[in-house]
Amino acid sequence: MFDFLHFHESHPPLFYALVRVWMLLFGATDTAVRAFCALSGAAIVPAVYVAGSRLFSKRAAVVAALLATFSPALNEHSTQIRPYGLMALLTLVSCYWMLRAIERRRRADWAIYIAATLLLLYTHNWAWLIAIGQNTAFVLIALRDQRAQLKSIAAAWLYSWMIIGIGILPWASALLYQVQNAGHAGVYVNGVVAAFELLIFGIFSSVQTLFLGRIVYPALVAVVGTVAATASAIAAAKIQRDRRAGAEASDVMIPGMRPGALLAIVIATITAAILLSPMSNQLLARCIATLIPLVALAAGQWIVSLWTGVDRVRFAPVFAAATLTFVIAAGVIDVFGIANDPRSNAREVAHGIKQNTTSSDLLIVAPEWFAPSFNHYFPRSIEQIDFPYRSRSGLIDFSDVWKRAADPERLAQLTTRLVQASASGRRVWLVSEVRYLHGVTDNAVRQAELEKDPAPYAMLRVAQIRATLERLYGQPDSLRVWPDTPALYDNLRAYLYSRRSVGGLSQR
């Protein structure tokens, strides 16, 4: 498992090791494995409440927990069999103990921070951007400290990161290999205009993920909510600034600075993601969602301070109520939609093909990243090609994805095998995802070559495979599955190419 992760994945090993142990204890069924992710994701809500009550107040903790509970992105990505729910939980734990260690300067607090941060870095490589955010926030905190305190707190921070660096050494070579060979294609930036577009896209993607989920149609309401949130933040900053005036100057972190420290981590992390995206796209909703617990904590404190503050700014409670109502209402609507959307129809498509195959059939799954979910339900029973591989593939290989997608030799080899299958009278199944069946423009292909993005090339290859099959066999029969509600991720379609039409296939 560790060798595969090293050379063929883009993630560290902690999540996979934990799932491996979980499967040994509770079995490998879909429900059993999903339970691990659901539990780690659900644990975010009480963790937010505990952190909020200790950093701020019980009222702020309740508001923050509500925001986390109804966050569409957290609900969506914390229930997938992927590392993101665990990553969001560990992000919260690491950042919480970072603040506690800076404030209290206890060795036990620093030790917990070091351990939590190491676990975070061993969960997902995007955590390194969060580490950049933490270091940025620490610099901002340290700059407000007195010179006498700065030396000791800076030394503790430096020692902590030296220990974290030593702790990551066993995985360092794998991390370097993954950075060089895996990950997503970069965003092509060829000038000032493209850089500005990337900045706007990064800001919009972050705001949508952190606050709006998939709801984009009430644009006017979104604008009003954003204005209200901005006004609330300004008002809250004024209240907190007035309250800090009488605080002791020797405090490393004044309580009113805690929301700002959390937001500094968030903003610095997203800024790093935008700056690094030309090399490898880091603006992924599932990664940005891991910052939501921090935003929920800061937002909870701001809303409560606006509502209950002694020196209330005029209309501040109205702004606070409007912002909270808007965000929670949008979250409830979106979470309800997410709960009713099927994630994948891979099981139904696999079952339908299994019921209609003959021993001589040839099965093609394209592109390769839909093969693992399909193969999970489809046993190795007939000759199968998970294109651009030459045979059936067990797992997704995240290294050199672009080279495989763009390699013309692989398409030529598949074409030869299809010609041979047609000549011998064999039937051919083609399984692909709906988005990849619509074709791709020449301009998109040229852009993919610049960005080394495999997705448009995969669409091109699927179109070329279909053209070859239609030239050899004519129009296919389509497999109908039930229910026919479009799936959110693996919305697969299956087509059977044969010498003689069989009048359509169905599976219910």
pLDDT per residue as tens digits for the range 33-73:
999 999 999 999 999 999 999 999 999 999 999 999 999 88
**In this structure, which amino acid lies at residue 235?**
A
DSSP 8-state assignment for residue 185 = P
pLDDT category of residue 229 using cuts at 50, 70 and 90: low
Helix axes 58-69, 316-340, angle to 10 degrees: 40
Token pair listed for 47: 């963790």
Kindly state the average pLDDT of the residues 232-238. 56
Q: What's the pLDDT score for residue 228?
A: 54
Is pLDDT larger for residue 249 or for residue 413? Answer: 413
Q: What percent of the chain has pLDDT over 90?
A: 51
Q: What percent of the chain has pLDDT over 70?
A: 86
From residue 67, give the alpha-carbon distance in Å to each of 12, 324, 506: 29, 8, 44
- Mean pLDDT, rounded, of the chain: 85
Q: What's the pLDDT score for residue 105?
A: 86
Token pair listed for 485: 């509600």
Q: 203-207: list long-range contacts, CB under 8 Å, 24+ apart.
A: 205/283, 205/285, 205/288, 206/270, 206/283, 206/288
CB-CB contact of 429 with 362 (8 Å):
yes
Closest of 492, 496, 489, 503 to residue 349, by C-alpha = 492
CB-CB contact of 64 with 52 (8 Å):
yes
pLDDT category of residue 385 using cuts at 50, 70 and 90: very high
From residue 360, give the alpha-carbon distance in Å to each of 16, 221, 379: 37, 58, 15
Q: What is the Cα–Cα distance from 319 to 315, expressed in whole angstroms? A: 6
φ, ψ for residue 427 (rounded to 5)? -85, 150
- Does the pTM surpass 0.75? The reply is yes
Q: What's the pLDDT score for residue 420?
A: 94
Other beta carbons less than 10 A from residue 416's beta carbon = 10
Q: What's the pLDDT score for residue 147?
A: 55
CB-CB contact of 356 with 429 (8 Å):
no
From residue 242, give the alpha-carbon distance in Å to each of 236, 239, 259, 312, 405: 10, 5, 15, 11, 59
